[in-house]
Each structure stands twice: as structure tokens, then as C-alpha cells.
């Protein structure tokens, strides 16, 4: 028998468990461990609440968790309740699938002012992540600035722009739903250091901006290079996205809210009297190497809310070599050390889509199988040893059946038309399960 531990129950963790279960069958036992009592990671707490079709991938993960040789263990924080070194003593292989939940710093003056939030914090607020549910973004001002040129920036801008009716079928949590219903934000600027040809936005997310009920996108046609240069974007998959931006540049916005794309712009500092009130922006140009360089020309954007969407990093964990520059665990092809692996954003950094994690997980599972062939026995204690260790430390672990009880309660509490009303605190979840 082989025993495997996967730390993190997001897409990368579940795809890796799926691959290992297929490779080893009944010759392996696989534990998926998460610090929260509930599974799914990015699917539950990162995917936008109005993107319910994307969340349906969890049905596939359910089948993995319900397999006889796979077990979900929640409410166990690795590094606190159990160390990585202890896991390595109990399991033949430990796979780090912790994702990248921490925001990268802007590195500019004023980013610590109230009213400035990272996207992990803001997205976690409206998705009900226990770490961020108590935050209160300032929505009483009329202007917001979103920093970044990727899909997360679009998600933030879109959620700020939607009506309550548009959010009705989503699983946005009640505190955010009510706060957004009272929001005074009317002008949202998306800051991008480079131009339309360098965005990391996909057509689906960009296209949604053109379908909003009371908001519309505004793009300056002067920001585009000649149209014949768009042909070179086909190989990079950007042609459709740039085409949508060109379409928006030809529109006249006559709605109550505006989402302005400010290209060739970078924030240099955030100012205000005890809280964010404005962003000082420097105009940029693209040099011969494709990098954004400041021109020295500065201007001011009013903003009582600033959301930074410039990327994420994995938190360091004792006992796991770490790449501080990349914000991920140090690895080569997913291998950190013998018996220690990384998948997903913990391996690659915050790049790719949810689907990207499937081949990533299967590749690492193949590396594990090559190092530990099917039919061999590692002689480790595995899940039984982990259970004994947790019991000795009075750590209350949750299982997949517990998640099903939480899920049923959330669905029963949903407002009309919504799929669920998420519980937003660990203590609330544990109380439901009968634990104080």
C-alpha cells in the first residue's frame, strides 16, 4: 500500500488526487487536506459568484472525493496543527497544492491606506472567504480604481457595476449583496501598464462588460496600434479580446456607470487624508523589449476604493523550500525534493485557468508513479497515523460527509433564485456540525 497526502483541496489538489487514484487504484490511499472545513478552494472562494457554470466543475471533484481510496480532511492547518515534516514521515509522498492566496504588494507609497485592497481580499469579501468576510470595502464614494489587466480585474469591475437583479442568480454572499445594493460607485477605472495588445483578458470576461444593464465600457481609440497589427495576435489568442476592445472604443456610453480602460498607465502612489482619496498615475510607453517605462507625465484619478489585481503568491511553509522571487515553492517540474511535490499555482505561480491544473496534476502524479511504482509498498502509516496525531492534539477534523451537511444548510438558506447562501466563518460551520 502507498499513502499520499495532498495539501490543498482546490482544482490542482483534486486533479492530482484523481490521477493518483487512477494510477494506483486500491493499492493507494489518498488524503486531501485543507485548513478550512470545506473543500474546493478557488472554485468556492475565487471564481466570480456570477460564473455559476464554471463552478459546476465541482461535480467532477465530488466523484473524486467519494472514491473508496480518497478521503477529504478539512479544518487542519499544515504548519500549525501538523508540520510538513510530520506529514512526510506518515506519507510516501506529500503534494503541495496550496494555491496562491496572498496578494502581491504594489510596492508604492500609500498602498497601506484604508480603502486600498488586494484582489484576494476584495474577491474573498464578496465570495465569503472566512479570512476576508469581515472586511468592509468603502463603497460610499463614486470613484474606484482597479489596478491590473487580467480577468480578476474584470471580475472586480463587473461585480462593482452590476445591479442586484443581475447578481440575483449568483452565490454572492448576503453581506456583499446588500452592501453592493447601497454602493455609490459610478466610475470605475481599470489601470493597465501597457496597451490593448498586452492584456491578459479573455474574450468571455471582456464580452460580459458589453452586456451590463446600467454600466458600459469606455476605451480610447487612440490607445490602439494600427488595425493591421492585430493579425499578429492570433498566435497569442488575443485577437478576439482586442477586437472587443476596439468595438467598445466605437461605442458611446449613455448608462449610469462607466468602466474606463486607462492603458499605458501605472500607479506611482496613493494619497489621501487618513484614507485613499486619489491615485497618482504616470503615463507609460512600451520600450523595445516590450516593457512599460514611465514617461514622467503624471495625472490624478479620484478614488475612495482601490483594488490591486496584480497577482498572487503562495505563503511559505516551514519545511518546504521556497522561491521568494516567484512567490511559489521551489521545484523542478513539480518535484521539490524526494517525496515532496508541488502542483498548480503553488508550482507554477498564479498563471493559467482552472483547466490548466488538470494536466499539471497528472504530470506530477506520473512523476510520483515513476518514483514509487505501482505494486511497491512504502510501509508508511498514512491516514491512520495522521488521525492518531490529530486526536492527540485535539484537532477537530472534518470529512466529506460534514461538507455535505454544510452544503445542504447553505442551499436551504439561499435567497430566492440563488444556489446557496455560504457560511462565512469556520466557527459557524463547526457549530452546524455540533461542535463548539
C-alpha cell at 216: 458600459
- Which of these, 366, 348, 326, 347, lies nearest to 93 by C-alpha position? 366
- Which of these, 122, 139, 118, 127, lies nearest to 46 by C-alpha position? 127
Q: For residue 177, how many C-alpha atoms fall within 13 Å in the half-sphere facing its CB?
A: 20
- Average pLDDT of span 127-143: 96
pLDDT interval class at 233 (50, 70, 90): confident
* pLDDT tens-digit series, residues 9-27: 999 999 999 999 999 999 9
How far apart are the C-alpha atoms of 36 and 176, rounded to whole Å?
A: 21
In DSSP notation, 107-136 reads: -SBTTTSTTEEEHHHHHHHHHT-TTTTT--
Contact, 313 vs 328, CB < 8 A? yes
Residue 122's pLDDT is 97
pLDDT of 370 higher than 80: yes
In DSSP notation, 320-369 reads: S-EETTTTEE--BTTEEETTEEE-THHHH-S-S-GGGHHHHHHHHHHHHH
C-alpha cell at 341: 511535490
* pLDDT tens-digit series, residues 196-226: 999 999 999 999 999 999 999 999 999 999 9
How far apart are the C-alpha atoms of 138 and 301, rounded to whole Å?
A: 16
What is the percentage of the chain residues whose pLDDT exceeds 90? Answer: 93
| Least-confidence region, from 19-23, 76-80, 187-191, 230-234 | 230-234
What is the percentage of the chain residues whose pLDDT exceeds 70? Answer: 100
Residue 237's pLDDT is 75
| Least-confidence region, from 142-151, 300-309, 330-339, 349-358 | 349-358
pLDDT of 336 higher than 80: yes
DSSP code for 394 = T
DSSP code for 232 = G
Residue 376's pLDDT is 77
Beta-strand runs (E) in 231-291? 257-262, 265-271, 278-286
pLDDT of 236 higher than 80: no
How far apart are the C-alpha atoms of 328 and 315, rounded to whole Å?
A: 8
Q: What is the CATH number of domain 105-308?
A: 3.50.50.60
Residue 316's pLDDT is 95
pLDDT of 377 higher than 90: no
Contacts with 188 (C-beta within 8 Å, 6 or more apart), sequence order? 143, 144, 145, 146, 157, 160, 161, 215, 257, 258, 259, 260
How far apart are the C-alpha atoms of 212 and 165, rounded to whole Å?
A: 11
Contact, 249 vs 208, CB < 8 A? no
Instruction: Find out if CATH 3.40.190.150 is the number for domain 2-101+313-432.
Output: no
pLDDT of 181 higher than 70: yes
Q: Where are the domains of the chain?
A: 2-101+313-432, 105-308
- Which of these, 432, 417, 407, 425, lies nearest to 39 by C-alpha position? 407
Angle at 125 between CA 113 and CA 50, to 5 degrees: 130
- Which of these, 136, 143, 140, lies nearest to 257 by C-alpha position? 143
Residue written as cell 480604481? 145
pLDDT of 290 higher than 90: no
What is the helix (H) or strand (E) element at residue 315, kind and residue range?
none
Rg (CA), the chain: 23
What is the helix (H) or strand (E) element at residue 64, kind and residue range?
helix 58-65
What is the four-CA torsion angle of 36, 38, 39, 40, rounded to 10 degrees?
A: -90
What separation in angstroms does the CA of 51 have from each of 62, 163, 237? 19, 15, 22
Mean pLDDT of the chain: 95
* pLDDT tens-digit series, residues 311-322: 999 999 999 999
Angle between helical axes of 174-181 and 119-127 (0-180°, round to 10): 100
Q: For residue 143, how many C-alpha atoms fall within 13 Å in the half-sphere facing its CB?
A: 12
**Which sign does the torsion angle of CA 76, 78, 79, 82 carry?**
positive
Residue 436's pLDDT is 65
Whole-model pTM: value is: 0.94
Residue 315's pLDDT is 92
Residue 374's pLDDT is 87
- Average pLDDT of span 380-386: 96
Amino acid at each position: 500500500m502507498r499513502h499520499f497526502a495532498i495539501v490543498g483541496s482546490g482544482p490542482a489538489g483534486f486533479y492530482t488526487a484523481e490521477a493518483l487514484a487512477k494510477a494506483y487504484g486500491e493499492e493507494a490511499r489518498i488524503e486531501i487536506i485543507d485548513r478550512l472545513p470545506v473543500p474546493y478552494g478557488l472554485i468556492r472562494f475565487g471564481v466570480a459568484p456570477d460564473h455559476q457554470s464554471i463552478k459546476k466543475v465541482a461535480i467532477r471533484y465530488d466523484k473524486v472525493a467519494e472514491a473508496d481510496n480518497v478521503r477529504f480532511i478539512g479544518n487542519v492547518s499544515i504548519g500549525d496543527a501538523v508540520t510538513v515534516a510530520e506529514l512526510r514521515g506518515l506519507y510516501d509522498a506529500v503534494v503541495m497544492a496550496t494555491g496562491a492566496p496572498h496578494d502581491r504588494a504594489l510596492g508604492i507609497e500609500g498602498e497601506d491606506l484604508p480603502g486600498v485592497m488586494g484582489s484576494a481580499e476584495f474577491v474573498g469579501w464578496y465570495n465569503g472567504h472566512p479570512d476576508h468576510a469581515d472586511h468592509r470595502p468603502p463603497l460610499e464614494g463614486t470613484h474606484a480604481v482597479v489596478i491590473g489587466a487580467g480577468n480578476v480585474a474584470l471580475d472586480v469591475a463587473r461585480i462593482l457595476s452590476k445591479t442586484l437583479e443581475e447578481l440575483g442568480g449568483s452565490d454572492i454572499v448576503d453581506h456583499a449583496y446588500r452592501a453592493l445594493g447601497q454602493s455609490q460607485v459610478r466610475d470605475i477605472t481599470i489601470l493597465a501598464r501597457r496597451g490593448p495588445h498586452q492584456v491578459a483578458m479573455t474574450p468571455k470576461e471582456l464580452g460580459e462588460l458589453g452586456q451590463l444593464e446600467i454600466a458600459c465600457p469606455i476605451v480610447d481609440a487612440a490607445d490602439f496600434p494600427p488595425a493591421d497589427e492585430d493579425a499578429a495576435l492570433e498566435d497569442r489568442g488575443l485577437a478576439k479580446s482586442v477586437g472587443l476592445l476596439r468595438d467598445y472604443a466605437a461605442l458611446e456610453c449613455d448608462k449610469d456607470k462607466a468602466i474606463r480602460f486607462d492603458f499605458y498607465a501605472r500607479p506611482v502612489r496613493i494619497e489621501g487624508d487618513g484614507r485613499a482619496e486619489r491615485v497618482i498615475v504616470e503615463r507609460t510607453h512600451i520600450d523595445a523589449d516590450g516593457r512599460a517605462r514611465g514617461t514622467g507625465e503624471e495625472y490624478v484619478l479620484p478614488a475612495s476604493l482601490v483594488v490591486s489585481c496584480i497577482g498572487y503568491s503562495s505563503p511559505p511553509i516551514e519545511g518546504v523550500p521556497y522561491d521568494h522571487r516567484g512567490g511559489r515553492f521551489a521545484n523542478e517540474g513539480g518535484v521539490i525534493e524526494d517525496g515532496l511535490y508541488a502542483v498548480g499555482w503553488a508550482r507554477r505561480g498564479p498563471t493559467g485557468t482552472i483547466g490548466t491544473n488538470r494536466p499539471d496534476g497528472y504530470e506530477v502524479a506520473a512523476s510520483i508513479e515513476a518514483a514509487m511504482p505501482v505494486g511497491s509498498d512504502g510501509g508508511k502509516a498514512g491516514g491512520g497515523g495522521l488521525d492518531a496525531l490529530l486526536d492527540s492534539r485535539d484537532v477537530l477534523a472534518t470529512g466529506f460527509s460534514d461538507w455535505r451537511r454544510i452544503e445542504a444548510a447553505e442551499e436551504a438558506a439561499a435567497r430566492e433564485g440563488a444556489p446557496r447562501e455560504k457560511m462565512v466563518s469556520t466557527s459557524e460551520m463547526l457549530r452546524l456540525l455540533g461542535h463548539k
